[in-house]
Structures are given as C-alpha cells and as structure tokens.
Structure 1
C-alpha cells in the first residue's frame, strides 16, 4: 500500500527541517523576521500529524487490495501570507514579515486531491489549521525553553 503525503506539520517537527510551518513558528517565537518567499499568495495545504496517522491507520486496515497510491493530506488551501499572519497572531509575536525572491521551481499551488482516501478509506482530515498550529506552537515554545533539544513523546510528559 502506498500513501502519498502532503505538508504534514505538528508537534515533534524538527525546528530546522526547512518546512514553512516550522520556519515561521520558530522565527516568530524567537522574535525574528518571518521569511516569506515571493508575494505570499502561493497556496499550501497543511495536514496535522494526528490526521496523517489516522490516514495511515485507515490505509493499513483497509479491506482488500488497493491499486495505486492514496493521497493523504488536507485539501484546505491557505496562502503562505495567511499562514504567516496566523502564526503572528497565535504567538503574539511582534515579528515583521520579510519577503525574499520566490525560487524558480516553487509551485504557486499545492493541494492534494483526497477523493480516493475518502471513498476507499472513509478518511478525511479533522484538525483545523488554527487548532493544529496552536499545538505546534506550544511544542516549539517548550522546545526553545528547554534549549532546543527534542522533547520526549507526549506520553512521557
């Protein structure tokens, strides 16, 4: 069985993995400028880690054979500019937005079609972006307070 995953985020992300969510959250918490490439109108779809795990579980426990990959992601689109504004609001950061040139190969839109996941697995994401970001911000806030070392899993806290 093959899962094709899209822009997963959430607690236990690596702060230096280069993804837009971790970059913006860490920059906001440190009071640094938030880096946005291009005009900020490019869209991305963000899938909270718990939703992805539920999708994996549904995929692995689906009855019968499945031909081809199944897209697991969140089809709700958010512009990078909207994401940055939400991060600033949720962190109460006074950081500013710094725009840099858009890389030539960066797509303007990324949005998974999860029709097959819904039809074959009865799956769709449940956690909204604001809720997932709040949990992610809380994780990074604790991580930075602890000196930047990865925190133990939730069950050990």
Structure 2
C-alpha cells in the first residue's frame, strides 16, 4: 500500500447497459418466469452506468475478459454454490 496512487480504481465492464437491458438479460439467462417491475429513479440515480477503467488499465494492466452474457451464468453458479441453493433448471 505504499504506492503513489490514491482514490478508487474502477473494475467493471465499460460496456454501457440500461437497468432494463440488464434485467432482461438476467431474466433471459437465469429465470424466464420472473416479472420485472420498474420504478421511478431516485433523484441521485446515476444517469450513466459506464465505469471508466482507464486507471485499471494504466496502473494494473487490467481489463475485463468475460462478456456480460457469459459471466452472468457463472456468477449465478457461484452464488448458488456459496448459498447452498440448488439449481433446478431444465437443460
């Protein structure tokens, strides 16, 4: 922790998705029977959800390697394993 960099370093995917697009993708890949409910944004809700990963690239040599559609099922499997929840999907 003796480096000269201060402040946060964003580790995220610089692809920009709306919350609706994300919810629809989760529904499609994980549970097609779920109902998506939309609500009004709060006044402090960010208008843009696109992390600037410049610092991660420059300081850490890091950039994302897994696409959203590939990573969501992996994340679901990991959560289920950690929580001890069975996956009842029919393949």
User: TM-score if structure 2 supplies the norm length?
Assistant: 0.70
Would the aligned equivalents of 2:10 and 2:56 in 1 still touch at CA under 8 Å?
yes
Q: What is the SS of the residue equivalent to 1:97?
A: coil
1:101 to 16, 23, 40: 40
Whole-Å Cα distance in 2 between the matches of residues 128 and 85 of structure 1?
A: 16
Count of equivalent residues:
84
Deviations 1:129-155 (A, max 9, x none): 112211122234453339xxxxxxxxx
Q: Which moved more, 1:109-118 or 1:136-145?
A: 136-145
Q: Which residue of 2 aligns with 1:23?
A: none
Q: Which residue of 1 aligns with 2:53?
A: 114
Q: Which residue of 2 aligns with 1:132?
A: 71
**Consecutive aligned runs of 4 or more in structure 1 exceeding 4 Å deviation:** none
- 2:14 equivalent to 1:69: no
5+ residue gaps, structure 2: none
User: TM-score if structure 1 supplies the norm length?
Assistant: 0.45
Change over 3 Å in CA distance of 1:104–1:135 after alignment to 2: same
Whole-Å Cα distance in 2 between the matches of residues 95 and 67 of structure 1?
A: 43
Whole-Å Cα distance in 1 between the matches of residues 46 and 10 of structure 2?
A: 19
**How far 1:83 sits from its partner (Å)?**
0.7
Q: What is the SS of the residue equivalent to 1:106?
A: coil
- Which has a greater percent of strand? 1
Would the aligned equivalents of 2:18 and 2:49 in 1 still touch at CA under 8 Å?
no
